C-alpha cells in the first residue's frame, strides 16, 4: 500500500497494527509477503532509505546502503570488516545475487538440533525454494554477460575437472555491468525490493523507512510493540519518534542487526544466554591471478562463477569482481609502485575464498546502539582458507593466469600454486586481509533455551509474540551464500504463523 519516508513522521506518533516487522531485507521481506497476503495488517520498519540511492562509488554506498556506514568490524586478534546492507531490500540491494539453496546435509542436521521437528527438512523446504526461485528469476549466469573474469574461472575449473562453473543468480535482466555491490543501476537484479516487498505492499503492507528501532515493548512476558527514531536520511536529523503497538513483533534486522537490537533494547536477559552468541560469518580471503591479456575484472556479471574442490567441503571460492579503485588497494603498495601498478590492473582475475566457519563470535550493542562484534578466526578455519587458496591458485593458472598473489602480508608473487602455498604456510591470521559479508546464526533456532533464542516456529523462548525471521536464526553455519535460505526460512515461519 504505502511506502513512507521520514516526511510521514513529525513529533511522536503511535499506530496500532496486527504485525510489525523490523527490517526489510530478504528475511523481513519474505515473512511480510506471506503475512500480508494472508490478510494480516503489516507494518514494515526499515532503518535505511525508502528509495534506492545507488552510485558506483564506495563512499556513497557505505553512506546510504551499508549498515553503520560500512564501518562494522569484528574485534578479535585482528579486526575483520563485516558488511551488511541497508535500505528497503536490505542486503539484497548490494549483494552479488548469488543464489544457492541450503545444502541438504545442512538442513538434515538442523532437524536434530530442532529435537526432531522436521519442518525445515530438504523435502519440506523444496517447494518454497521452487516458488522463490521462480519469483526472483534465479538462473545460471548466461555466458553472453559473464565477462572474461568469470570465463577464466570456468575454463580453469573445467580443466581441473572439479564441480563449478557459472553460478546461479537472481538477475533476470542483468547486463553484466559488474557493480552489484553498489546496487544495480539498471534494475537487472531481482533484489527483494522488486518482488517480495511490492507483493507485500500490494497485499496492504505499509513500509516506513528512515526509522531505526531501538525499543521493543514487552508486557507480562509478551511483546506488544516497538518504537524508533525517524531521521532525515541525508542530514541524520531526528524528525520524530514512531511507536507501533502490535499483536505480533517480528525482528528481521539480520545476523548483526537482530542481536544488536535485542541487546540494545534490553531484552537479552529475558531471551537467554544465546542472544548474540554463536555468530558465524563465512570468513575469507582472496587469490589474484595476473594474465598477459585484458581481463577487466570490473566487467561482466558480479561474482558470476564458483567452484568447489571435491575433498574440501565447506570451502567455497567465487570469482572476485571489484572496481579498479578497490583492486588497486589489494595489488599496490605506495608511491611509484602504486603508479606502476595502474597499468597492470586490467590483467587481474581473482577469486574470493570463503569457508563455512567452525569458529564462532558474538554480537551485543554499545550504549548508543552500535554493534559490538567479537570474532576470532580459528586456526582450523585459517588453515582451510589457505588450502582453498591453493586450489584456487590452481584454477586461476589453469584458466590462463601467469602470476599469483594474495592480500596476505609478505607472501609476494608466484608462478606456481605450490610456491604460493609454501609462502602461505608460515603466515598467521594477523598477516591476512580477511573479510566477511555473511553474518548469521547469532540468535539461533533450537529447542534448548540455553543454546537458542527461538523455537522451531520462530517464536522466542523467553518472550511470547516475539518472532525472529532472518539470517540470525540459522542453527549452524550454512557453507553457501545465505540470501535464499534467509528468504526460505522467513517464508516458512510466516506460513507456520498463518496456518
Ligand X SMILES: Cc1cc2nc3c(=O)[nH]c(=O)nc-3n(C[C@H](O)[C@H](O)[C@H](O)COP(=O)(O)OP(=O)(O)OC[C@H]3O[C@@H](n4cnc5c(N)ncnc54)[C@H](O)[C@@H]3O)c2cc1C
User: What are residue 71's phi and psi, to 5 degrees?
Assistant: -110, 20
Asked if residue 96 binds ligand X (CB under 6 A), the reply is yes
Asked if residue 166 binds ligand SF4 (CB under 6 A), the reply is no
Q: Which of 4, 86, 168, 189 binds ligand SF4 (CB under 6 A)?
A: 189
Asked if residue 320 binds ligand SF4 (CB under 6 A), the reply is no
Provide the minimum distance between the beta carbon of 99 and ligand X in the complex, in angstroms, as a whole number. 6
Provide the minimum distance between the beta carbon of 180 and ligand SF4 in the complex, in angstroms, as a whole number. 3
User: Cα dist. 403→12, 150, 151, 390, 420 in Å?
Assistant: 61, 17, 17, 13, 10
The C-alpha cell at 411 is 607472501
Asked if residue 261 binds ligand X (CB under 6 A), the reply is yes
From the list 481, 161, 493, 497, the residue with the least C-alpha distance to 302 is 481
Provide the minimum distance between the beta carbon of 216 and ligand X in the complex, in angstroms, as a whole number. 10
Taking the least distance from each CB to ligand SF4, the nearer of 61 and 356 is 61
Taking the least distance from each CB to ligand X, the nearer of 197 and 406 is 197
Asked if residue 186 binds ligand SF4 (CB under 6 A), the reply is yes
Q: Which of 405, 483, 493, 497 binds ligand X (CB under 6 A)?
A: 483
Asked if residue 176 binds ligand SF4 (CB under 6 A), the reply is yes
Size of the site for ligand SF4 (CB under 6 A): 15
Task: Pick what 181 binds: ligand SF4, ligand X, none; C-beta below 5 to 8 Å, kind-dependent.
Answer: ligand X
Stretch of 1-9, 88-96, 329-337, 408-416 contacting ligand X, by CB under 6 A:
88-96
Asked if residue 98 binds ligand X (CB under 6 A), the reply is yes
Q: Which of 319, 471, 477, 491 binds ligand X (CB under 6 A)?
A: 471
The C-alpha cell at 183 is 546496487
Q: Which of 25, 87, 156, 178 binds ligand SF4 (CB under 6 A)?
A: 178
Distance, CA of 126 to CA of 122 (rounded, Å): 6
Asked if residue 191 binds ligand SF4 (CB under 6 A), the reply is no
Build a one-symbol-per-residue string for 167-206: x at contacts with ligand X by CB under 6 A, - elsewhere. --------------x-------------------------
Stretch of 80-88, 139-147, 340-348, 456-464 contacting ligand X, by CB under 6 A:
80-88
Per the CB < 8 A criterion, the answer to whether 246 and 18 are in contact is yes
User: Cα dist. 438→69, 85, 480 in Å?
Assistant: 17, 11, 9
Asked if residue 177 binds ligand SF4 (CB under 6 A), the reply is yes
> From its phi and psi, is residue 408 left (phi > 0), alpha (psi between -120 and 50) or beta?
beta
Q: Is 377 helix (H, G, I), strand (E, B) or coil?
A: coil
Strand 211-219 versus strand 371-374 pairing type: unpaired
Strands (DSSP E) found in 222-378: 222-231, 238-251, 277-279, 284-290, 305-307, 315-319, 348-355, 361-365, 371-374
The C-alpha cell at 260 is 544488536
Task: Pick what 213 binds: ligand SF4, ligand X, none; C-beta below 5 to 8 Å, kind-dependent.
Answer: ligand X
Asked if residue 192 binds ligand SF4 (CB under 6 A), the reply is no
Taking the least distance from each CB to ligand SF4, the nearer of 171 and 275 is 171
Asked if residue 27 binds ligand X (CB under 6 A), the reply is yes
Stretch of 33-41, 45-53, 69-77, 305-313 contacting ligand X, by CB under 6 A:
45-53
Task: Pick what 254 binds: ligand SF4, ligand X, none; C-beta below 5 to 8 Å, kind-dependent.
Answer: ligand X
Q: Is 248 helix (H, G, I), strand (E, B) or coil?
A: strand
Asked if residue 90 binds ligand X (CB under 6 A), the reply is yes
From the list 427, 405, 432, the residue with the least C-alpha distance to 416 is 405
Taking the least distance from each CB to ligand X, the nearer of 383 and 457 is 457
Task: Pick what 184 binds: ligand SF4, ligand X, none; C-beta below 5 to 8 Å, kind-dependent.
Answer: ligand SF4
H/E segment holding residue 74? strand 73-75
Size of the site for ligand X (CB under 6 A): 44
Task: Pick what 225 binds: ligand SF4, ligand X, none; C-beta below 5 to 8 Å, kind-dependent.
Answer: none
Interface of this chain with ligand SF4, residues 79 to 108, rule: CB under 6 A = 97
The C-alpha cell at 159 is 580443466
Cβ contacts of 330 within 8 Å, gap of 6 or more: 286, 288, 322, 407, 433
Provide the minimum distance between the beta carbon of 60 and ligand SF4 in the complex, in angstroms, as a whole number. 15
Q: What share of the chain is helix, strand, coil (3-state, %, to 5)?
A: 35, 25, 40
The C-alpha cell at 227 is 518504537
State the SS3 of 105-171. HHHHHHHHHCCCCCCCCHHHHHHHHHHHHHHHCCEECCHHHCHHHHHHHHHHHHHHCCCEEECEECC
User: What are residue 107's phi and psi, to 5 degrees?
Assistant: -65, -40
Q: Which of 33, 280, 438, 461 binds ligand X (CB under 6 A)?
A: 438
Alpha carbon 91 to chain centroid distance?
A: 6
Dihedral of the alpha carbons of 401, 407, 408, 410, in degrees to the nearest 10: 70
Q: Which of 167, 180, 382, 487 binds ligand SF4 (CB under 6 A)?
A: 180
- Which stretches of the chain bind ligand SF4, using CB under 6 A? 97, 171, 174-180, 184, 186, 188-189, 301-302
- Which stretches of the chain bind ligand X, using CB under 6 A? 22-28, 45-48, 67, 83-87, 90-92, 94-98, 181, 212-213, 228, 252-255, 257, 261, 437-438, 470-471, 481-484, 486
Amino acid at each position: 500500500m504505502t511506502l513512507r519516508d521520514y516526511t510521514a513522521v513529525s513529533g511522536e506518533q503511535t499506530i496500532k497494527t496486527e504485525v510489525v516487522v523490523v527490517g526489510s531485507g530478504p528475511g523481513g521481506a519474505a515473512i511480510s509477503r506471506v503475512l500480508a497476503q494472508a490478510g494480516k495488517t503489516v507494518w514494515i520498519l526499515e532503518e535505511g532509505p525508502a528509495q534506492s540511492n545507488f552510485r558506483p562509488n564506495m563512499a556513497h554506498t557505505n553512506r546510504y546502503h551499508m549498515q553503520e556506514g560500512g564501518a562494522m568490524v569484528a574485534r578479535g586478534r585482528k579486526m575483520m570488516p563485516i558488511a551488511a546492507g541497508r535500505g528497503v531490500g536490505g542486503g539484497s540491494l548490494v549483494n552479488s545475487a548469488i543464489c544457492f539453496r541450503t545444502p541438504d546435509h545442512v538442513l538434515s542436521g538442523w532437524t536434530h538440533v530442532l529435537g526432531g521437528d522436521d519442518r525445515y527438512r530438504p523435502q519440506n523446504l523444496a517447494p518454497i525454494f521452487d516458488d522463490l526461485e521462480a519469483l526472483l528469476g534465479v538462473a545460471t549466469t548466461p555466458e553472453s554477460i559473464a565477462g572474461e573474469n568469470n570465463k577464466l574461472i570456468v575454463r580453469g575449473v573445467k580443466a581441473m575437472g572439479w564441480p563449478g562453473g557459472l553460478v546461479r543468480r537472481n538477475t533476470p535482466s542483468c547486463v553484466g555491468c559488474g557493480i552489484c555491490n553498489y546496487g544495480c543501476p539498471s534494475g537487472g537484479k531481482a533484489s527483494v525490493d522488486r518482488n517480495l516487498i511490492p507483493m507485500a505492499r500490494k497485499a496492504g503492507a505499509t513500509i516506513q523507512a528512515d526509522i531505526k528501532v531501538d525499543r521493543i515493548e514487552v508486557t507480562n512476558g509478551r511483546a506488544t510493540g516497538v518504537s524508533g527514531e525517524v531521521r532525515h536520511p541525508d542530514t541524520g536529523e531526528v524528525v520524530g519518534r514512531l511507536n507501533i503497538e502490535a499483536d505480533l513483533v517480528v525482528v528481521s534486522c539480520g545476523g548483526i542487526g537482530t542481536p544488536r537490537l535485542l541487546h540494545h533494547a534490553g531484552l537479552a536477559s529475558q531471551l537467554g544466554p544465546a542472544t548474540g552468541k554463536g555468530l558465524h560469518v563465512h570468513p575469507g580471503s582472496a587469490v589474484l591471478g595476473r594474465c598477459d591479456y585484458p581481463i577487466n575484472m570490473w566487467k561482466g556479471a558480479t561474482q558470476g562463477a564458483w567452484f568447489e574442490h571435491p575433498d574440501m567441503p565447506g570451502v567455497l571460492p567465487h570469482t572476485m569482481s571489484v572496481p579498479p579503485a578497490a583492486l588497486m588497494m589489494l595489488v599496490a603498495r605506495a608511491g611509484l609502485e602504486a603508479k606502476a601498478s595502474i597499468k597492470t590492473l586490467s590483467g587481474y582475475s581473482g577469486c574470493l575464498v570463503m569457508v563455512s566457519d567452525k569458529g564462532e563470535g558474538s554480537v551485543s550493542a554499545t550504549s548508543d546502539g552500535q554493534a559490538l562484534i567479537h570474532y576470532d578466526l580459528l586456526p582450523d578455519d585459517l588453515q582451510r582458507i589457505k588450502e582453498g587458496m591453493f586450489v584456487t591458485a590452481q584454477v586461476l593458472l589453469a584458466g590462463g593466469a601467469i602470476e599469483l598473489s594474495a592480500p596476505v602480508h609478505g607472501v609476494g608473487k608466484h608462478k606456481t600454486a605450490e610456491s604460493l602455498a609454501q609462502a602461505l604456510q608460515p603466515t598467521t591470521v594477523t598477516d591476512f586481509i580477511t573479510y566477511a559479508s555473511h553474518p548469521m546464526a547469532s540468535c539461533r533456532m533450537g529447542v534448548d533455551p540455553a543454546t537458542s533464542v527461538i523455537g522451531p516456529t520462530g517464536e522466542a523462548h523467553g518472550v511470547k509474540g516475539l518472532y525472529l525471521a532472518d539470517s540470525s536464526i540459522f542453527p549452524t553455519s550454512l557453507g553457501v551464500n545465505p540470501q535464499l535460505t534467509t528468504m526460505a526460512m522467513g517464508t516458512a515461519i510466516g506460513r507456520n504463523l498463518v496456518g
